[in-house]
Amino acid sequence: MAVRAVSMRERLGMYNANALKIGMFGVNCSSGRSATTVSERWSASWAECVRLACMADEAGIDFILPIGRWKGYGGNTDFHGATLETKTWAAGLLAATKRITVFGTVHAPLFNPIIAAKECVTCDQIGEGRFGLNIVAGWNEGEFEMFGVRQRDHEARYAFAQEWVDILKRAWLEEGEFDFDGEFFKLFGVRAKPKPYGGTRPIIMNAGSSGTGQAFALRNCDAFFTATNASRKSIEGTAKKVAEVKALARTFDRDIEVYTVGHVICRPTQQEADEYYRHVFIDNADWGAVERMMALRNLTRDSLAAEEYEAKRHYFAANAIGGYPFVGTPDKVADELANLSRAGVRGIAFSLVNFVEELPHVCDEVLPRLVRLGLREAP
Ligand SMILES: Cc1cc2nc3c(=O)[nH]c(=O)nc-3n(C[C@H](O)[C@H](O)[C@H](O)COP(=O)(O)O)c2cc1C
């Protein structure tokens, strides 16, 4: 079959005119983004992942964003203890779907860039231009130890990632053979064929939260994901954050799209939504896992006063792990999502407690409201 040309604009638009892009986040990890012991929590089995991907594809959801996670966080459920490796997972999902973009996530220090480039091309060929790449510089010490890889200091991590992405892009785009002489990589006679599908390259995203991480994203990526919760409380706060990021990107002579993440609990009434939210994230929180994630950020009973620790623990369980919670009726959830778009956010990747059980309600009730608001096309 002939390979059709695919423009970068089409890739960035994920092949549709939806003003607000919607994606599913964390589908490849056990419990998704909900550190909870409730029995309906997400299994992340392959069968469930394929079911979800086909359902999302059919409903016109724009993308699926996995999490590159190698080691669980413990607790009663070993939160994220079972994860499907993201690029091989993406390859399978791209083969099973027709429209949706599927991301793979690469921890730059754990993968040789030429191997990663070729894996991405394979995914992109399978998906005929629907593969996207999330580059992670690395933050989780325990995970790196398990590979026998030493985590570099924060600045060096991004200097390394810069060489890594330069090599990846050359392998994707340069027709001829090339050498690379960097601080971290010395490569000779690199040849990489075939190229990504249709004459362009996969979309690249990054979600660095530090200044250095953000600068890396703005220099190298097409989409910047930010998890800032506080600014989401007002359209103005979000709009300011988006405007700042875009203005900064322009100083690098680049346009960048700003995305965010969250968690949706949508029920017919506000009371049902609030009760379920509390049931999952507070009454049945997996506190062991929550505390482990806090400890990775040096938030412990030793480092904080008792009251502050309790408040942070509650905040982490209720807000920080799954991202900003959109909890309410279809009207409320659609309105809050629309506010993101009004503030200039290009899209959101959100999680559901059980993706397969909850997505149909979101598609039946929330998406049509976004269509009526002019933010999405009918599927
Ligand atoms: C939407 C989103 C997706 C992310 N995906 C991953 C991931 O898959 N694996 C991972 O180890 N870290 C992931 N991260 C963490 C970031 O890549 C980054 O390491 C973290 O925000 C720390 O930023 P810094 O490196 O600038 O300090 C993600 C963060 C966000 C907000």
Number of neighbouring beta carbons within 10 Å of residue 268: 11
* Structure confidence at residue 233 (pLDDT): 67
* CA–centroid distance, residue 207 to ligand 1 (Å): 5
pTM: 0.96
- Asked which of 168-182, 312-326, 330-344, 348-362 is least confident by mean pLDDT, the reply is 312-326
3 state SS of 288: helix
Per DSSP, helices labelled H in 302-366 are 306-315, 330-342, 355-361
Q: What is the distance between the terminal CA atoms of the chain, rounded to a whole angstrom?
A: 26
Listed in sequence order, the residues at least 6 apart from 86 whose beta carbon sits closer than 8 Å to its beta carbon are 28, 66, 67, 68, 103, 104, 105, 106
* CA–centroid distance, residue 1 to ligand 1 (Å): 38
Nearest-CA neighbor of 262 among 332, 194, 187, 337?
A: 337
Q: Pick the more confident residue, 124 or 230.
A: 124
Residues with CB under 6 A from ligand 1: 67-69, 105, 134, 136-137, 139-140, 207-210, 213, 225, 227, 261
* Structure confidence at residue 374 (pLDDT): 97
| Protein residue with least CA distance to atom 5, ligand 1 | 67
* Structure confidence at residue 187 (pLDDT): 98
Q: Each residue of 291-300: pLDDT tens digit?
A: 999 998 899 9
Q: Would you place residue 323 in the very low, low, confident or very high pLDDT band (cuts 50, 70, 90)? A: confident
- Give yes or no for residue 204 having a pLDDT over 70: yes
Q: At what angle do helices 235-251 and 330-342 cross, to 10 degrees?
A: 30
- Whose tokens are 């690469």? That residue is 106
* CA–centroid distance, residue 360 to ligand 1 (Å): 28
- Asked which of 38-52, 193-207, 309-323 is least confident by mean pLDDT, the reply is 309-323
